[in-house]
Amino acid sequence: MKRYVYINDDESSHELYCDNRISNRKYTVLNFLPKNLWEQFSRFMNQYFLLIACLQLWSLITPVNPASTWGPLIFIFAVSASKEAWDDYNRYLSDKKANEKLVWVVRQGIRKHIQAQDIHVGNIVWLRENDEVPCDLVLIGTSDPQGLCYVETSALDGETDLKTRLIPTACMGIDFELLHKIKGVIECPNPDKDIRRFDANLRLFPPFIDNDVCPLTIKNTILQSCYLRNTEWACGVAIYTGNETKLGMSRGIPEPKLTAMDAMIDKLTGAIFVFQIVVVMVLGIAGNVWKDTEARKQWYVLYPLEGPWYELLVIPLRFELLCSIMIPISIKVSLDLVKSLYAKFIDWDSEMIDYETGIPSHATNTAISEDLGQVEYIMTDKTGTLTENRMIFRRCCISGVFYGNESGDALKDTRLLSAVAGCSTDVVQFLTVMAICNTVIPIKSKTGAILYKAQSQDEDALVNAAAQLHMVYVNKNANTLEIRFNSSVIKYEVLETLEFTSDRKRMSVVVKDCQNGKIVLLSKGADEAILPYAYDGQQTRTFIEAVEQYAQLGLRTLCLAWRELTEDEYQEWSLMFKEASSTLIDREWRIAEVCTRLEHDFEVLGVTAIEDRLQDGVPETIETLRKAGINFWMLTGDKQNTAIQIALSCNFISPEPKGQLLLIDGKTEDEVCRSLERVLLTMRITSSEPKDVAFAVDGWALEIALKHYRKAFTELAILSRTAICCRVTPSQKAQLVELLKSCDYRTLAIGDGGNDVRMIQQADIGVGISGREGLQAARAADYSIGKFRFLKRLILVHGRYSYNRTAFLSQYSFYKSLVICFIQIFFSFISGVSGTSLFNSVSLMAYNVFYTSVPVLASVLDKDLSEGTVMQHPQILFYCQAGRLLNPSTFAGWFGRSLFHAIVVFVITIHAYAYEKSEMEELSMVALSGCIWLQAFVVALETNSFTIVQHLAIWGNLVAFYVINWIFSAIPASGMYTIMFRLCRQPSYWITMFLIVAAGMGPVLALKYFRYTYRPSKINTLQQAERMGGPILTLGNIEPQQRSIEKEVSPLSISQPKSRSPTPVYEPLLSDSPNSSRRSLGSRSSSSYSRNCKDN
Amino acid sequence: MDANGATTSSAAGGGSSSKSSAKKNSRKPKYSRFTQQELPACKPVLTPGLVIATFTIIGIVFIPLGLVSLSASEHVVEIVDRYDDSCVPPNYSNDKLKFIQAADTNKSCVRILPVPKLMKKPIYIYYQLDNYYQNHRRYVKSRSDKQLRSKSGEKDISDCTPEDKTKDGPIVPCGLVAWSLFNDTYGFSLDSKMIKVNKHNIAWKSDKDHKFGDDVYPKNFQTGGLIGGAKLNSSLPLSEQEDLMVWMRTAALPTFRKLYGKIEEDLPANKKIQVVIQNNYNTYSFGGKKKLVLSTTSWMGGKNDFLGIAYIIVGGLCLFLAVFFILLYVIKPRPLGDPSYLSWNKSPSGQPN
């Protein structure tokens, strides 16, 4: 479980641990072919095609040339294999580049320039400024006298600010030369992928220092792929190398996501497969019976009396091969092709470029665009996703005085400014905490201006605000920091930093005033983490009021506090803290415990309120998507009141008369249970009437609910369209996504920060906002967008079109294969059930691969409704959500159509080309051209908008069919020599074609017209409206709303009364509530609801 | 993913604003109507007018076309005579198979065919076989086109089993198709005057020129144990054997006609033609019918009412649909694209704005 790293020991660890060779490759040159083939053949479809292709090699049973299957099969395999190979080669190249990079490593006490791949665990690696770190290192020396260095970790976690790293205390002050000879042992855990945690110990061997164990944390490490910045040099001991680094461990190929549509296509393929087996069995038996009763009498066939043992199998196998085209080999290729085009359309979309940053949207996962159109639940993060995550200090309350209430900006409040000018003690203390109780690093730029590098946007806002109030945080030099207040410089020595954790909800620093030597504890944190710890006798009522008032405005509040420490108290505590910091087990918990021993008896100084503005277009986006029938859940780590206020201001929930918010809270199981039951009851009552009921739950209650009352909570989740979950941890976010997924809902998770990554990966679709919290979420996501408002376009435009197009494409692929297959089956009845193929190999292959694939591929440009119409009538998304365009019944329609068309083509052909014209090649070409003509008209009829590309593809394809066949007819060696020329000269050929088209398309057109006009779907109605130029919409126009939080404050009765049960208010709500439209469209009835409710 | 990370970090390594703006520009997609899915499109609507007009036009065009085809078919004069049963002497009527298989029976048979109408030249003579599966898989496959094309392909007999070779070498032409060549013959006379039957150019020209070689002579044909159908004149190259060519254009249907020859003179109405048939071909074992067909031709080909009738039916149905839709439109008019049909707009309580 542990590894012991012996520093600078050239021999010991070479065998134990791997070297620093990075390998991301999946294959090697030798195993590429077998491994790749194995992977490809692990899919059912490919196995099927391979089996068919192998059977075709048996000439006794093959109806056509084996090339007609082998060709496309090899092509498909070659394409995906070469794609894999190319990816792998690129990985190899980038690995090689990283592996062969030269680094300075100490070997036998001398610094040498060696390749990065030769670094071993225990080696000392030297880095210069702007070097990339080759493996995970524990720092032992830097150029900085205080043992500090700065790293940029953006490749690791996407955060672009500089982070400080420092050398362990044991290594402090070791001479530059001696670093080459340092010996010691580091006791560290086995490699894991947690990049925020490293609990280890270091012990240096004599003569360096006594045997003291020195604790190591993540602060003492620099991890692979970081960059060294602002530091001349640094050196460290390699602890994890190669693929065992934290980066290497966290790298992994994510599970491929399967869309609902893919699953449906697989299901339909399975059904077709079963149908095929049945057909084959029936025809096989019929064939054998016919052979024994009839064919033996037919002397010209010359059946041998005694056949080989497998004779009974021959005819069924022939039919299996003849029917194998029922499952179109082209569908996989076409789908892959169009899916990557959907993804490209997202990448290209100029309306989804964030013009502030110039970042376009990007589809990382190219395979799941259809799922976007089927989203039912959106789980959204709050900070940075709904809001801009650009914190602005707005108001504050210092010892009972509210600043900034009038102007909305405390920085312009003259009272505060005059208080600052007058050096009011409270205010100065307050500003001091604002300025230095943080982990911000001030950096002086060349122009002299001070830039702050902060990990937290809140801290950034506070420090900047303090600076504007003349409390400027000037410099941080190792443990000393300088602030300038009204031109006087004050120095503090930082003794300890008690870091922020989401459990403690506060952070503190212990500083020593360099002027008077006083030791002070400065704290800031959430109200519930600070106010209860105020010293006895302090009146915190005004602060509670302030917090509530600010929270109602949707502002983020922080309470600032301080306490003077005595020297003894500090020393005593400091020892405990040191001890806790060096434990290996439960270190975080131990530290938290020790911290609470110091953080009490605060003198609360005041409350800050920071505004996090909503992003542009958030309320409209949410409103539109809610109209589209998508349910929203907000999962945030923020506190309940703030979350509710944000939810109100962005249309997430409706204010009281229209909507109702139910709270689930409680600290114990019983309380939570009672609260949950109550809410559920109210939900059940109100679910029958249209009312916007939402519930809010906090992390604690959620934990209990998920653990003990999962069933009830699931029911609640299904009933409720909106939920607000506050104070939830990343893993709870993921759990909630999992819960909804288990109810068979399509979920989309959107977030921007590292805490959203798990939820993003868990959800069916993960969307990352490439925002200010780094790129971590965007990188883990399937889609990355710049702003929340692009979600609307992503779902309504791209998702919907993708769904519609794939629905058509996949069903059409089956349709066209079935047509030709049915014709073959019908023909077998007039050819003695012997398994003769009517069509020749070339035609069959070209039919599948070329004639019928090209026109349908153009359907990626098809738009049933214009983007504007969809945006105005987002409810239309329902058709995609409910899978109305691809399901067994639509598929049955296509199946019926293929049967009908096959009958039309076959009957007309054999009657028109009867008697003296019934020549095999001619008849087969007549039937084939009949199919091609029908295909062209079917695609044309199903196309909603014709661009030039579609016209070219559909009609050009028809022309191409003739051109290609004329070419074949001109080759004397081909079987169809002169056939096409002969046919084209016959008037009866053309007459037959027109008859086939009219007889085949007439009923289809009539049916379509009838449905279109008299039983129109909503899509049809909108199509008509938009194209007839009529009044597309009189209702439901969504105007951009300019809201500011302040104006939107509506009294909320639900925020306070935690004990009182909320009384259900029955108000007629908007009847456009998608709940009702859902029901009227009849998708999820209560029966399916109860199905979903089953034990998950 | 990995490469992505590398580029980002390296770009960030540069750090300067000029670099990052350059990056922005390069990542910005180029605007084009294709990439924005904004290609100009025509969006047809199935308006009642359009649909009714379509059906009406189809009806109006198809019914006359059908009538024309039907009349063309009607103008074709056709004499069909089934002779397989009647050409068996009564004493063999219970065992027709024995009659046809016996070598010594007299197989000639005389049939009198009345000419119902004046038949203009050229008159095509076909033989029609029913219930004969030339499209049986075993049968269609059993041939070698290479062997037929040139002498060099003589040994290419792998597909021809079981009629591939005798002990003397490969059969030319090999395979079941050639082996089962039809061998009934017909002699025509009108008023006891022989009618000349032209058996030239009854095969496709392309077959003569390219598919059947002029250097390929029949070899070992019908010399094996089993005799199938007709024998070939082994002094003529295959490119001259037009009966074989016709026969080897296999039929796709179990009922088919093959061209036997042409009569290059008019046959007056109400005359009787006397046909002397050499009834050699065995269709008795499988109950197949043999018919002799004399037919004139039209621009549509032979007599076939199907297309004409089908056109009239389809045209009629289209007209009926057109009328039906017009009535529907008049009786139950329904405005297209009325937003009030959208269920979410139906509610009286209105919408939030």
Closest CA to A220 of A316, A293, A324, A141: A141
| Test the A interface: residue of B336, B338, B340 with most A CBs within 10 Å | B336
The residue type at B154? E
pLDDT tens-digit readout, A800-840? 999 999 999 999 999 999 999 999 999 999 998 988 999 98
Closest approach of B233 to chain A, Cα-based (Å): 21
Closest CA to A440 of A419, A454, A451: A454
Inform me whether the C-beta atom of residue B45 falls under 8 Å from chain A C-beta atoms.
yes
pLDDT tens-digit readout, A781-794? 889 898 899 999 99
pLDDT tens-digit readout, A219-231? 888 888 888 877 8
Collect all residues of chain A within an 8 Å Cβ-Cβ radius of residue B13.
Answer: 130, 152, 227
pLDDT tens-digit readout, A945-964? 899 999 999 999 999 999 99
Closest-CA residue in chain B for A227? Answer: B13
What does the alpha-carbon distance between residue A847 and residue A833 come to, in Å, rounded to a whole number? Answer: 23
Closest-CA residue in chain B for A300? Answer: B180
What does the alpha-carbon distance between residue A183 and residue B338 come to, in Å, rounded to a whole number? Answer: 84
Contact between A401 and A415 under an 8 Å Cβ cutoff? The reply is yes
Contact between A77 and A336 under an 8 Å Cβ cutoff? The reply is no
Contact A977 B210 (CB under 8 A): yes
Collect all residues of chain B within an 8 Å Cβ-Cβ radius of residue A130.
Answer: 13
Q: Please give the structure tokens belonging to residue A450.
A: 């001070």
Which uninterrupted H or E stretch holds A507?
strand A506-513
Closest CA to A356 of A767, A772, A752: A772
Contact between A5 and A13 under an 8 Å Cβ cutoff? The reply is yes
pLDDT tens-digit readout, A371-382? 999 999 999 988
Core vs surface per residue A170-189: b (16+ CB within 10 A) or e: bbeebeeeebbebebbbbbe
User: How many pairs of residues across A and B have Cβ atoms under 8 Å apart?
Assistant: 330
Q: Largest alpha-carbon pair distance within chain B? A: 111
Collect all residues of chain A within an 8 Å Cβ-Cβ radius of residue B182.
Answer: none
Alpha carbon distances (Å) from A557 to A508, A528, A552, A614: 16, 11, 11, 16
Predicted pLDDT of residue A989: 94
What does the alpha-carbon distance between residue A533 and residue A518 come to, in Å, rounded to a whole number? Answer: 21
Q: What is the mean pLDDT of chain A?
A: 82
Residue with tokens 């970090």: B9
Binned at pLDDT 50, 70 and 90, residue A445 comes out as confident
Nearest to B304 among A914, A949, A1039 (CB): A914
Mean pLDDT lowest among A753-762, A768-777, A855-864: A768-777
pLDDT tens-digit readout, A1034-1057? 444 333 333 333 333 333 333 333
Inform me whether the C-beta atom of residue B122 falls under 8 Å from chain A C-beta atoms.
no
Closest-CA residue in chain A for B137? Answer: A836
In tens digits, what is the pLDDT along chain B, a chain of 353 residues?
A: 333 333 333 333 333 333 344 344 444 556 788 888 888 888 888 888 999 999 999 999 999 999 999 999 999 999 999 998 888 888 888 888 888 888 888 889 999 999 999 999 889 999 999 999 999 988 998 988 888 888 888 888 888 878 888 888 888 888 899 999 999 999 999 888 999 999 999 999 888 888 898 888 998 888 877 778 888 888 999 998 999 999 999 999 999 999 999 999 999 999 899 999 999 898 998 888 999 999 999 888 888 999 999 999 999 999 999 999 999 999 988 777 676 667 665 443 333 33
Q: Please give the structure tokens belonging to residue A807.
A: 């629905």
Nearest to B8 among A775, A832, A1025 (CB): A775
Contact between A323 and A272 under an 8 Å Cβ cutoff? The reply is no
> If contacts are CB pairs under 8 Å, which of residues 236-275 in chain B contact chain A?
249-259
Contact between B126 and B260 under an 8 Å Cβ cutoff? The reply is yes
- Quick check: A452 pLDDT over 50? yes
| Test the A interface: residue of B7, B9, B181, B183 with most A CBs within 10 Å | B9
Contact A949 B39 (CB under 8 A): yes
Contact A1005 B137 (CB under 8 A): no
Residue with tokens 């195993």: A31
DSSP notation for A863-880: -SS-HHHHHH-GGGGHHH
What does the alpha-carbon distance between residue B328 and residue B321 come to, in Å, rounded to a whole number? Answer: 10
Predicted pLDDT of residue B349: 37
- Binding-site annotation, residues of A for Mg(2+): 381, 383, 752, 756
Nearest to B252 among A302, A304, A923 (CB): A923
> If contacts are CB pairs under 8 Å, which of residues 130-189 in chain B contact chain A?
132-140, 145, 162-163, 176, 179-180
Contact between A363 and A349 under an 8 Å Cβ cutoff? The reply is no
Q: Please give the structure tokens belonging to residue A596.
A: 């609470």
Contacts of residue A721, Cβ cutoff 8 Å, sequence gap at least 6? A626, A631, A632, A692, A693, A694, A1074, A1075
Closest approach of A348 to chain B, Cα-based (Å): 5
Contact B55 A347 (CB under 8 A): no
pLDDT tens-digit readout, A751-769? 887 778 778 888 999 998 8
What does the alpha-carbon distance between residue A764 and residue A17 come to, in Å, rounded to a whole number? Answer: 38
Instruction: Report residue B165: phi and psi, to 5°.
Output: -155, 155
Predicted pLDDT of residue A158: 55
Closest CA to A547 of A534, A563, A536: A534
Closest approach of B185 to chain A, Cα-based (Å): 18
Any bridge partners for residue A561, and if so which? Answer: A523, A604
What does the alpha-carbon distance between residue A715 and residue A743 come to, in Å, rounded to a whole number? Answer: 9
What does the alpha-carbon distance between residue A820 and residue A928 come to, in Å, rounded to a whole number? Answer: 8
What does the alpha-carbon distance between residue B17 and residue B318 come to, in Å, rounded to a whole number? Answer: 70
Closest-CA residue in chain A for B259? Answer: A916
Any bridge partners for residue A114, and if so which? Answer: A103
What does the alpha-carbon distance between residue A706 and residue A925 come to, in Å, rounded to a whole number? Answer: 65
Collect all residues of chain A within an 8 Å Cβ-Cβ radius of residue B347.
Answer: 1070-1072, 1076
Predicted pLDDT of residue A926: 95
pLDDT tens-digit readout, A339-350? 989 999 999 988
Closest-CA residue in chain B for A1076? Answer: B344
The A387-398 sheet, strands edge to edge: A401-403, A387-398, A603-614, A556-565, A519-525, A506-513, A488-498, A480-485, A471-477
pLDDT tens-digit readout, A966-983? 999 998 888 888 899 999
Q: Please give the structure tokens belonging to residue B233.
A: 């004149």
Q: What is the torsional sign of CA A114, A116, A121, A122? A: positive
Closest approach of A403 to chain B, Cα-based (Å): 36
Q: Output the pTM of the full model.
A: 0.80
> If contacts are CB pairs under 8 Å, which of residues 79-108 in chain B contact chain A?
none
Contact A945 B6 (CB under 8 A): no
| Test the B interface: residue of A159, A298, A969 with most B CBs within 10 Å | A298
Contact A1027 B45 (CB under 8 A): yes
Collect all residues of chain B within an 8 Å Cβ-Cβ radius of residue A998.
Answer: 58, 62, 314, 318
Contact between A880 and A893 under an 8 Å Cβ cutoff? The reply is no
What does the alpha-carbon distance between residue B156 and residue B148 come to, in Å, rounded to a whole number? Answer: 10
- Binding-site annotation, residues of A: 381-383, 459, 500, 524, 556, 636-638, 727, 733, 752, 755-756
Q: How far apart are the first and last CA of chain B?
A: 43
What does the alpha-carbon distance between residue A825 and residue A280 come to, in Å, rounded to a whole number? Answer: 10
Predicted pLDDT of residue A496: 84
Predicted pLDDT of residue B341: 65
- Binding-site annotation, residues of A for ATP: 381-383, 459, 500, 524, 556, 636-638, 727, 733, 755-756
What does the alpha-carbon distance between residue B216 and residue B235 come to, in Å, rounded to a whole number? Answer: 10
Contact B301 A1081 (CB under 8 A): no
Nearest to B339 among A911, A1034, A1070 (CB): A1034
Inform me whether the C-beta atom of residue B12 falls under 8 Å from chain A C-beta atoms.
yes
Whether the bond between A145 and the residue before it is cis, its omega within 30 degrees of 0, is no
Predicted pLDDT of residue A773: 60
Contacts of residue A309, Cβ cutoff 8 Å, sequence gap at least 6? none
A630: helix, strand or coil = coil
What average pLDDT score do residues A89-95 get? 83
Torsion-angle region of residue A225: left (phi > 0), alpha (psi -120 to 50) or beta?
left
The residue type at A571? Q
Residues of A taking part in catalysis: 381
Collect all residues of chain A within an 8 Å Cβ-Cβ radius of residue B54.
Answer: 1005
Alpha carbon distances (Å) from A352 to A368, A798, B22: 18, 11, 19
A448: helix, strand or coil = coil
**ipTM of the modeled complex:** 0.90
Collect all residues of chain A within an 8 Å Cβ-Cβ radius of residue B130.
Answer: none
Contact B311 A1013 (CB under 8 A): no
Collect all residues of chain B within an 8 Å Cβ-Cβ radius of residue A875.
Answer: 342, 344
| Test the B interface: residue of A1013, A1020, A1022 with most B CBs within 10 Å | A1013
Collect all residues of chain B within an 8 Å Cβ-Cβ radius of residue A1013.
Answer: 46, 48, 334, 336
Residue with tokens 């009312």: A691
Contact A1039 B353 (CB under 8 A): yes
What does the alpha-carbon distance between residue A460 and residue A456 come to, in Å, rounded to a whole number? Answer: 6
What average pLDDT score do residues A116-139 get? 86
Closest CA to A494 of A502, A483, A484: A483
Contacts of residue A560, Cβ cutoff 8 Å, sequence gap at least 6? A430, A433, A434, A437, A522, A523, A524, A530, A604, A605, A606, A607, A608
User: Which of A72-76, A702-706, A852-856, B317-321 has the largest mean confidence?
Assistant: B317-321
Which uninterrupted H or E stretch holds A492?
strand A488-498
Predicted pLDDT of residue A810: 92
Nearest to B311 among A347, A944, A995 (CB): A995
Q: How far apart are the first and last CA of chain A?
A: 35
Residue A452 is classified by DSSP as: E
Closest CA to B307 of A915, A896, A898, A828: A915
Contact between B51 and A193 under an 8 Å Cβ cutoff? The reply is no
Residue A526 is classified by DSSP as: -
DSSP notation for B256-282: EEEEEEEE-S-B-TT-EEEEEEE----
